[in-house]
Chains A and B, each alone.
Chain A
Amino acid sequence: MEEYLLRLEKNLMVGSARWVADFRESFRGYQIEDTHFDMMVRGGMKIKGFLLSRLFSFLVMPNYQVACFVYSQELEASTLRSLVRRLLEHMKEMGLDWAWLVIPKEGAFSEKVQKAVEKIDYREIGIALVDLAAREVSTNPSYVGKQMGRHVRCFP
């Protein structure tokens, strides 16, 4: 699990996810009220580059604030729904435009949890269930969800 977290953090900050957003700051052990996230990486969509890419980013890219939350505790379908609601409230408070929620686990997820993820279709949130043992990733059907699949696929 720890190795996966490190790989994911690296992929977000200096790896393939930089094509999506500039994830520049990573917190470990991030707390939202009584919910403990293993990791939270935040950033923006204004990518810093050199001359042309900086100009392109300034003129074309929206100034969205984004984050990726990682939650590795055991969860039920009902817990997942309340977790997502809490996350949406927190996003509003923090001024985040969209967020990824990564749920890694050493083993398969229950069918209920998988179905719950498939039904969650908030535009601003992407959810990925990461089965580390089977090296499988399933995401929710929102645009943000579909997009995140390949960036969280960084298995040890």
Chain B
Amino acid sequence: MKRRIAPLQIGDLFKSIFLMLLLITILWAVTSLLLFRDILVSRPLLVMNLVLSLFLGWFFYRYYRHTIFIYDEEGFELRQGRRVVQGRWKEYSSLSLFHLGRGDFVVRLYRDEEEFLDLPASALRLDPSRLRFEVMKFMGKNPTGSLNEKRLDNFPAS
């Protein structure tokens, strides 16, 4: 049975909104300077900028940042914005747990020594270690024999 993981990535959404607010503010400042030879600032304008950046930020996030991960025992589909990667677990030869920094983990799937694909476990709000062991099982790799549930829990807090 296919499992679909698609949580709202709040951090990415805020970054998108902030980026849009910054762009709109710069754009307004330049336009205002060219048209009125002054940077016009007023409360209604600020509210309009905020509403517009919320709207544009949401679309930017949906089209470029939102991550959806669908998988089962056979393979997976990873959508990051409009970019879609599909694969079968057996196509990959090994995997690792990779720390990107600040507690952000990915499960790195290696096709060979050089080519790899990252499954953003922390961004998907999955337990990175649990996902790693689950994928190892799908790939037919069992590191130490019995794969009990206890050892999958709570590593590392993301």
Contacts and interface: CB of A to CB of B under 8 A. Distances in A.
B16 interface: no
A24 B143 contact: no
Contacts of A27: 94-96
Q: Tell which of A1, A3, A14, A23 has the most Cβ of chain B within 10 Å.
A: A14
Contact of A10 (B133, B141, B143, B155): B155
A38 B143 contact: yes
A5 B150 CA distance: 13
B144 A9 contact: no
A9 B96 CA distance: 12
Contact of B96 (A6, A10, A14, A25): A25
B148 A25 contact: no
A9 B154 CA distance: 12
A29 B136 CA distance: 10
Contacts, number: 53
A8 to B, nearest CB: 11
A24 B103 contact: no
Contact of A6 (B95, B100, B103, B155): B155
**Contact-residue bracket for chain B:** 20 to 34
**Contact-residue bracket for chain A:** 10 to 19
A156 to B, nearest CB: 10
Given A10-B156, A28-B132, A2 B144 contact: yes
A25 B97 CA distance: 6
Contacts of B101: 24, 48
Nearest to A31: B94
Nearest to B147: A2
A13 interface: yes
B129 to A, nearest CB: 7
Nearest to A28: B143
Contacts of B100: 24
Given A28-B143, A29-B143, A9 B98 contact: no
Interface string A1-21: 111011001100110000000
6 contacts: A6-B151, A10-B156, A13-B156, A24-B98, A25-B96, A25-B97
Closest 9 CB pairs of A and B: A29-B143, A28-B143, A2-B151, A26-B97, A24-B99, A27-B96, A13-B99, A10-B156, A25-B96
